[in-house]
Amino acid sequence: MIFVTGGAGYIGSHTCVELLEAGHDVTVFDNFCNSHRESLRRVARITGREVTVIEGDIRDRTALEAALRESGASQVIHFAGLKAVGESVEQPLRYYDNNVVGTVRLLEAMEATGVRSIVFSSSATVYGDPQKLPLTEDHPLSATNPYGQTKLVIENMLRELHRSTPAWRVAILRYFNPAGAHPSGLIGEDPQGIPNNLMPYVTQVAIGQREYLNVWGGDYATPDGTGVRDYIHVVDLARGHLKALEYLAAQPGCVQVNLGTGKGYSVLDIVKAVAAASGREVPYRIAPRRAGDVAACYAEPALASQLLGWQAECGLTQMCEDAWRWQQGNPQGFRG
């Protein structure tokens, strides 16, 4: 049994599909503050298997202990957390409370129930402003916003926990830029309000929900002047979690691993690829740079291949085709 916090979210729901299809039983613990129960109903449609759903807050240790005992889980995947960079700047205490305090409560509950294997959903934001590219796992760590700081604090906490108690098995997965959707079109990224991520914003422009895309900065030292990022298909990302679980089941340890493709695509590359996938124009305007944005950020994914036997398989075309299929079929997301 795998216990998945935040399993109804974008990456969580896709990971639940992969877990179920690999034969695992799954218990999802989620408070649905930025996700929908419908995503888990769709997971069941895709896989023909149900997940056990327990509604609760990650900061509630008593509820976590009870849920862990009830589930009989042997491993945890920890997705639950607030994730909007801009919002974190405006509400830092809320982010530290939910993300950091919530993780402390989860680890306490795991210790109390004897579950000492965790895969943590981290982020490339822990590298801060890249000093060198591609980014390797030994790059100096820093963060330029409260969201990134919470990820870094949690990473440090997990490393210290493993040092104090080597029986803990910890995999820290540093995501780059998740994109795309399940090929069925039944689950995908469902942002509330204005999307924080590029891909759903571009598909909303393509379908006519938004007039145009603001491209923040057209004068970077990149091939077309727009920011370059490492976009990874969400299904590839989900499969990385299965590989991490298998790795931890085979041996104790604490590892930090990038999950990316090693390829950088610019904002205009994404615009063109979505236009090709949708057959529709994607109007855009070049706007001034945003504070805190970097010119380019992409992974060196070799360690994931070496340690986990994982590598990304889906390219940009498939990401955009799958994202467009989800957008067309679910113009209002799960609320529709």
The residues carrying an active-site annotation are 147
Composition of the chain by helix, strand, coil, percent to 5: 45, 20, 40
The answer for residues whose C-beta is within 8 angstroms of residue 299's C-beta and 6 or more apart is 124, 134, 135, 174, 176, 230, 258, 259, 260, 261, 262
* Residues paired with 26 in a beta bridge: 2
Q: In whole angstroms, give the CA distance from residue 113 to residue 104.
A: 14
Both tokens of 267, joined, read: 């904002």
CA distances, 115 to each of 75, 204, 237, 243 (Å): 6, 42, 24, 19
> Is the sign of the CA dihedral 322, 325, 328, 334 positive or negative?
negative
Is 278 exposed, middle or buried, given 0-12, 13-18 or 19+ CB atoms closer than 10 A?
A: buried
How far apart CA 298 and CA 133 sit, in angstroms, is: 7
Nearest to 78, CA basis, from 131, 45, 117, 49: 117
List the beta strands (DSSP E) in 97-168. Answer: 117-123
